[in-house]
Amino acid sequence: MNKRTLTALATALAASLALGATGCSKTKHADAGPDAGGKNPATANAGTVVGGTPQKGGTLTVLSNQDFTHLDPARNWVMNDMDFGTRLLYRTLVTYKAAPGTAGGELVPDLATDLGTSSNGAKTWTFHLKPGVKYEDGSPVTAGDVKYNVERSFSPDLPGGADYAARYLAGADGYQGPAQGKHLDSIKTPDDHTIVFELRKPFAEFPNATVMPTFAPVPQAQDKGPQYDNRPFSSGPYKIESYQRGKKLVLVRNTHWDAATDQVRKAYPDKLVMVMGLKANQIDDRLIASQGADASAVSWGALRPESAAKVLPSAEVRKRLIAESTNCTDMVQMHTGRAPFDDVKVRQAVQYALDKDAVLTSSGGPAFNDPSTAYMPASLFGGKQPDTVKVPVAGDVAKAKQLLKDAGKPDGFTTKMTVSTGDKGRAEAIQQALGKAGIKVTIETVDPSAFYATIGDTKNRTDMVYTGWCPDYPSGSTFLPFVFDGRYIKEKGNSGNHSLFRDDATMKKMDEIAALTDAKQANAAWQQLDGEILAKAPAVPVLVRRWPLVLGTNIAGAYGQTSFGGQLDYATAGLKDPSKSQG
Amino acid sequence: MTTTLAPAAAPTGRGPWQLARAELRRRTSVKISLAVVALFLVMAAAAPLLSRLGGWSPEEFDKTAVDPYLGGQPLGTLGGISADHWLGVEPVTGRDLFARVVHGAQVSLLIAFAATAIVVVAGTAAGIAAGYFGGRTDAVLSRLMDLTMSFPSLIFMIAMMSVAKDVNRIALMTAVIGLFGWPGIARVVRGQTLSLKHREYVDAARVNGSGSWRILTRDILPGVAGPVIAYTTLIIPGMIATEAALSYLGVGVRPPTPSWGQMIAESVAFYDTDPMYFVIPSACLFLTVLAFTLLGDALRDILDPRGSRS
Amino acid sequence: MILYIGRRLLGVTGVLIAIAAVTFTIFYVLPSDPAAAACGKSCSVERLAAIRTHMGLDEPVWKQFWEFASGIFTGRTMGSGQYALHCDFPCLGYSYENSESVWGLLMDRLPVSASLALGAAVLWLVLGLSAGVTAALRKDTLTDKVLMVGAVAAASLPVYFTSMMLIYGLIRTAGLLPYPQYVPFGSDPVHWASNLLLPWLALAVLYAAMYARQSRSSMIETMAEPYIRTARAKGLPRRTVVVKHGLRAGMTPILTIFGMDLGGLLAGAVITESIFGLPGIGRLFYGALSSGDQPVILGVTLLAAAFIVVANLAVDLLYAVVDPRVRY
């Protein structure tokens, strides 16, 4: 799901963009044990909870350089924002377990009593709602409210949300939301505690999709259309006291939330204050110093790479650093549908010319990034990406030149690459490396808001694009088909498959894997297919970023949630000593 | 931030150029300023040559000069200053700062001078036309000046720069900066022209049957030349600062093309971890702006004496 | 006088309409698609078309402008059915980015920008004018030279350089001040001032330098006027001459510049706000630009223009009070 990476980038402005860094050296170190951890100073806390168990009470302060893209559950589809929304403000049918490391990818029931039951060959899914779950005004959460929010996500007034409902629900074509009084027949609510989804095709992983905020309840009486974004109605442990867009958000306890119905959220602090629009570097400096009220603060955005020099050499600050992998792979995707990249040799030349080391450095260095040797991130390979093509990490210019010669382009060629403003530094590193092999690249930077529209126009876009893809949940089915299935290509509004890769063998294999019922077998097959596609080089995997965060000294219960792009898990974060915080 | 302050219009005749030159030579501040300006002009003009001398092109990475584990900090003291990299390197990329500073000078000064040229030519033309022809021409041009001056110029420049995507950024920037600068000088020239219009020698020319064009170019234009030259020198620093401000805000020239403003923008984040990276382009910008301001002050004193000498 | 004010107000309205039209044209003629931006990554052609219709972007440009311009005065109703939203005078529409009313956003941010601008203005007027007048009265002495060299140097410093030096010196090293974070005046005046002191200084250094230079030359000119010489010759005390006659006439040109500067800054000091992370109008504008939030961009531009023309008008009216030679 590009969308999240993208939108995450979109929200970070030019100021925060130089960085955007998250990274994923987790692959190398997570399995290498504590002694290898010494090599990457950023990952010593990987897989552990920093600060011990929090005490109840106090005010947790979040310092941010930006505002949320959307908090309206029908529109919230950015990793960080989904973390914040579903951990604090609203509950979904199913959610992720609150645990560090890979355990954070496990599903647990939330509003529902279980992970859903399927029938009709995984085309019908039934969920039962727990009794006693209440909104902030004490009224009960009903199955109809969940249905209503799923319907809202179809409204053209409320764009931006996850599109699983649109892709899978039966009879959803042309549906434009509930505002005109029309409803979806494929979602049935036989009583207030039962909801049944009718899908148009079998979808064994449907419970994974119900983690999305689309499947959170919104009572129709509270729906104010686009304005709901500024005041979502709470079904979680906190409710909004005040929200000044771009300035400040204050959350206080939802007294009607019952911990007995919730096995995920701990809700330690009494209050959460998010201060927005601060300068990213000043946030880093404040947290490194951790003076006074800043001791009870965390950062919303990732640490900026230029702050690394102030963090990594200090053992005291390193103890407060978490740097979970984002599990998103950055790639250079080449237009395989036209010259010169219709020639596999030319694409391989790019594969060999690219100096991942240099891109890594411009992205914050090996402490906050890992070079990527496969398309799918390490989480889909059980912790470590294989290296099937064996291109040296700094590239092999001689080999690249030879490949260009074989392709009949001994003098190289000129081409263009579109990148989002935040990836400017990484793009310059790529430009440098390819230039050495004779491939002259012109960089076209595009504002994050216009980036997808620009590269989605397959006729007028540049030959190369620099994008990322994150699996929505730990399954190869949320990665390879989105990025390499030729049948998803659209002439305008194209997404994911920016290589325009149309390979019969690949598509046949994908259909075979989708038909597999055994998850383990499917997993192994996806992993093998990854290598097979890599050999055809429609795209070059570049790196996986981490999401480094420095915590205040008074923060406890903190870890990066792997399923939310490494963002701090707000379900469990709290304070060591609430009396030290300032309200 | 409004950077262009219109000095009061002044009724002067043709300046005694000889005297002016002697007066200029007498001042130390002028000599130093001229030296600084000359230095940067030479640097800008000879940028490719100089960077070849230094051994690095402005866009060439040097991975060996930075420490990837420390967020790409330059290796060595003072931001990596060494025999290899005369002014050190850019953190993260290891690009040579000397090469980037001299190429940045080229871009920054080119934009500033080109924009100044547009402003001066357009402003003088409009000012003379308004002042000389008067009547409806004057009314229309004066309204246009008022309107342009009511635009929140920096905000407007940022907006225009950020919407235009696939164009030559240098040309666009020059045009956009020029667009908002002309009314200041036009007002000065208009006032000047009004006072010259009814001088005896102009009336004499008119009586002798000279055409408007001839009077404008032979009699009026030389009369306004003094204040225009002084004013021009005084707006150059404003132009340099505006270019830097726009690039600083990320709407200026596009990477990897360097300009001083853009270099400062990127280096701000490193102001405490790699101070040299921040100080070098800032110092260049400061010195250039300062030198032009001093030069402009001196020229105004001499060519447009009512300004500050009594 | 009343006739004059009426005529000027009419002119102000005309200028604002012209500026709105120009801004509108720039953003709607140039390629940029807010519907695509809102639709996001996974966006089908049909959905994009539906969103475009809902945003009213399928209408001709002139019609969109007419609706916008007339809506400012008469209000407009946006959306339909349950989502219908009425936007009262002065209606500048709703942000694409966060669906807040643009007017509401501007009024929410205005206190921040106004605090910054007014505080800095007090500082730079005090510093700049006292330096300028002192230098003028001691023309060609050492004091004059030192002050003017300082002023020309300070005026050449870019505001972002001054800001970073202040942050480094006063926050990082000395720990004297907090990292700026806006606190409303009403809730805690002391914290309001201590948080804003640094941005005030950064902004004031630049303007004080410019005002010192300007006021010095203006003062020197005034003091050479015949009526000052007459006053002196009459044997009035120097103090009276300087304060009652010199300052009054010498400061009138400063008033013009001050009006322009303050008007411009009230609508947001983009660079200063972004350096210090202050959530003012400048920062709102900068954020809106990168997300292509056209209603907000348009709103800020109009507000900024309004401040400038109103400041100009105010200055012209003040002239009549300050300078006895001016009569309308």
DSSP A228-286: GGGSPPP-SSEEEEEEETTTEEEEEE-TT--GGG-SS----SSEEEEE-S--HHHHHHH
Q: Is C4 on the interface with B (CB under 8 A)?
A: no
Per CB-CB distance under 8 Å, the chain A contacts of C278 are: 277
If you average pLDDT over residues C16-33, what whole number do you get? 77
> Does C150 or A47 have the greater pLDDT score?
C150
Q: Of the candidates C48, C109, C292, which has its C-beta nearest A447's C-beta?
A: C292
* Predicted pLDDT of residue A33: 33
User: Does the beta carbon of B180 lie under 8 angstroms from any beta carbon of chain A?
Assistant: no
Structure tokens at A393: 């990490």
What's the sign of the alpha-carbon dihedral B57, B63, B68, B70? negative
Query: Per this entry, what is the length of chain B?
Result: 310
Which residues on C lie below 8 Å from A278 (Cβ)? Answer: 179, 181, 277
The residue assigned the tokens 């800008």 is B44
Using CA atoms of B249, B253, B258, B261 in order, give the dihedral in degrees to the nearest 10. Answer: -30
User: CB contact, 8 Å: B77 with chain C?
Assistant: no
Domains in chain B with CATH codes = 25-309 (1.10.3720.10)
- Averaged over B10-37, what is the pLDDT? 75
8 Å CB contact between A5 and A545: no
**pLDDT for B2 beyond 80:** no
CB within 8 Å: B249 and C221? no
Residue with tokens 């620099």: A466
* Whether A426 contacts A363, CB under 8 Å: yes
What is the C-alpha to C-alpha distance for residues C258 and C207, in angstroms, rounded to an integer? Answer: 10
Average of per-residue pLDDT across C272-278: 90
Write out pLDDT tens, residues C45-101.
777 788 888 777 778 888 888 888 888 888 888 776 777 778 888 888 888 888 889
Q: Is C30 on the interface with B (CB under 8 A)?
A: yes
Q: Do A365 and B59 touch (CB under 8 A)?
A: no
Beta bridge partners of A441: A415
Percent of chain B with pLDDT over 90: 31
Q: What is the pLDDT of residue A16?
A: 34
Alpha-carbon span A125 to A118, nearest angstrom:
4
Cα distance between residue B296 and residue B234, in whole Å: 5
Pairing of strands A271-275, A59-63: parallel
- Judge whether B92 and A305 are in contact, CB under 8 Å: yes
- Digit-by-digit pLDDT tens for chain A (583 residues) are 554 444 443 333 333 333 333 333 222 333 333 333 446 888 888 889 999 999 999 999 999 988 998 999 999 988 899 999 999 999 999 999 999 988 998 999 999 999 999 999 889 999 999 999 999 999 999 999 999 999 999 998 888 888 888 889 999 888 989 988 899 999 999 999 999 999 998 888 899 999 999 999 999 999 988 889 999 999 999 999 999 998 999 999 999 999 999 999 999 999 999 999 898 889 999 999 998 899 999 999 999 888 888 998 899 999 999 999 999 999 999 999 998 999 999 999 999 999 999 999 888 888 899 999 999 999 899 888 999 999 999 999 999 999 999 999 999 999 999 998 888 889 999 999 999 999 999 888 887 777 887 888 888 899 999 999 988 888 898 899 989 999 888 877 788 899 999 999 999 999 999 888 788 899 999 999 999 999 999 999 999 999 999 999 999 999 999 999 999 999 999 999 999 887 6
Specify the pLDDT at position A58: 96
Q: Which whole number is the average pLDDT over B143-155?
A: 87
Contact A374, A386 (CB under 8 A): yes
Q: What is the mean pLDDT of chain B?
A: 84
Bigger pLDDT: B306 vs C7:
C7
Q: Does C96 contact chain A (CB < 8 Å)?
A: no
Give the DSSP letter string of A525-575: HHHHHHHHHHHH-SEEEEEEEEEEEEBPTTEESB-B-GGGTT-B-TTT-EE
Contacts of B150 in chain C (CB under 8 A): 15, 19, 305, 308-309, 312
Q: CA of B62: how far to CAs of A371, B87, B91, in Å?
A: 19, 14, 10
A152 within 8 A of A214, measured Cβ to Cβ? no
> Which of A308, A360, A432 is the closest to B61 by Cβ?
A432
Residue B304 in contact with residue B248, Cβ under 8 Å?
no
C157 to B155, B240, B269, C260: CA distances (angstroms): 21, 12, 18, 21
Inspect the interface and report whether the beta carbons of B245 and C161 lie closer than 8 Å.
no
| Nearest alpha-carbon partner for C158 in A362, B267, B32, A336 | B267
**pLDDT value at residue A29:** 31
**Which is it for strands A187-191 and A321-334: parallel, antiparallel or unpaired?**
unpaired
For position A230, what pLDDT does the model report?
92
C180 near B CB under 8 A:
no
Could you tell me which residues are beta bridge partners of residue C78? Answer: C85
Phi, psi of A108 (to 5 degrees): -135, 150
**C158–B285 CB contact, under 8 Å:** yes
- Rounded to the nearest 5 degrees, what angle is found at the Cα of A499, between the Cα atoms of A496 and A502? 95
- Please tell me whether residue B184 adopts helix, strand or coil conformation: helix
Rounded to 5 degrees, φ, ψ at A87 are -85, -25
Stretch C296-310: mean pLDDT, rounded? Answer: 89
Chains that touch C (3 or more CB pairs under 8 A): A, B
Q: For residues C40-71, b (16+ Cβ closer than 10 Å) or e, as one string? A: bbbbeeebbebbbebbeeeeeeeebbeebeeb
User: Between A and C, how many residue pairs show a Cβ–Cβ distance under 8 A?
Assistant: 141
How many Cα atoms are found within 13 Å in the side-chain-facing hemisphere of A394?
4
Of B71-75, B141-145, C159-163, the one with minimum mean pLDDT is B71-75
- In three-state secondary structure terms, C152 is helix
Beta bridge mates, A466 = A332
Identity of residue B253: V
Interface test with B, best of A39, A279, A361 (most B CBs within 10 A): A361
CB contact under 8 A, C42 and A224: no
Name the nearest CA neighbour of A543 among A297, A340, A356, A333: A356
Per the document, the length of chain A is 583
pLDDT digits (tens, 9 = 90+) for C101-126: 999 999 999 999 999 999 999 999 99
Task: Compute the distance between CA of residue C210 and CA of residue C216 in angstroms, rounded to an integer.
Answer: 10
Kindly provide the residue ranges of all beta strands, DSSP E only, lying in chain B, ordered along the sequence.
Answer: 66-67, 73-74
| Number of other CB atoms surrounding residue B230 within 10 Å | 25
Residue linked to tokens 């010095």? C216
Q: Does B86 touch chain A (CB under 8 A)?
A: no
Q: Which stretches of A439-546 are DSSP H helices?
A: 448-455, 480-484, 504-514, 519-536
CB contact under 8 Å between B162 and A447, yes or no, is: yes
What confidence tens digit (pLDDT) does each residue in C121-141 have? 999 999 999 999 999 999 889
ipTM above 0.90, yes or no: no
Residues in chain C: 328
CA distances from A428 to A4, A15, A443, A543, B97 (A): 24, 18, 8, 15, 16
DSSP H helices in A326-479? 344-353, 356-362, 397-406, 424-436, 448-455
Q: How confident is the model at residue C222 (pLDDT cuts 50, 70, 90)?
A: confident
Best interface-test mutation with A: which of C39, C42, C102, C107 has the largest number of A CBs within 10 A?
C42
Burial of B263-296, coded b for 16+ CB within 10 Å and e otherwise, reads bbbbbbbbbbbbebbbbbbbebbbbbbbbbbbbb
Alpha-carbon distances of C264 from A185, A576, B61, C268, rounded to whole Å: 56, 47, 41, 7
DSSP structure class, residue A488: G
* DSSP of A337-367: TSTTTTSHHHHHHHHHH--HHHHHHHTT-TT
Mean pLDDT of chain C, nearest integer: 85
**Residue B72, helix vs strand vs coil:** coil
The residues in B 238-257 lying below 8 A from C, measured between CB atoms, are 241, 244-245, 248-249, 251
Neighbours of C13 (CB within 10 A): 12
Query: Does the pLDDT value for residue B16 go beyond 80?
Result: no
For residue B306, the model assigns a pLDDT of 54
- Cα distances (Å, whole numbers) of residue C196 to B268, C183, C191: 20, 9, 8
Retrieve residue A157's tokens. 């007034």
Contacts of C301 in chain B (CB under 8 A): 152, 155-156, 159
Partner-chain contact C216 B147, CB within 8 Å: no
Q: Cβ(C213)–Cβ(C257) under 8 Å?
A: no
**pLDDT value, residue C29:** 65
Contact partners of A by the rule of 3+ C-beta pairs under 8 A?
B, C
* Residue A196 backbone dihedrals phi, psi, to 5 degrees: -125, 125
Which tens digit of pLDDT belongs to each residue from B212-260?
888 888 888 888 888 888 888 889 998 998 998 898 888 888 767 889 9
Give me the mean pLDDT over the C180-187 stretch.
Answer: 88
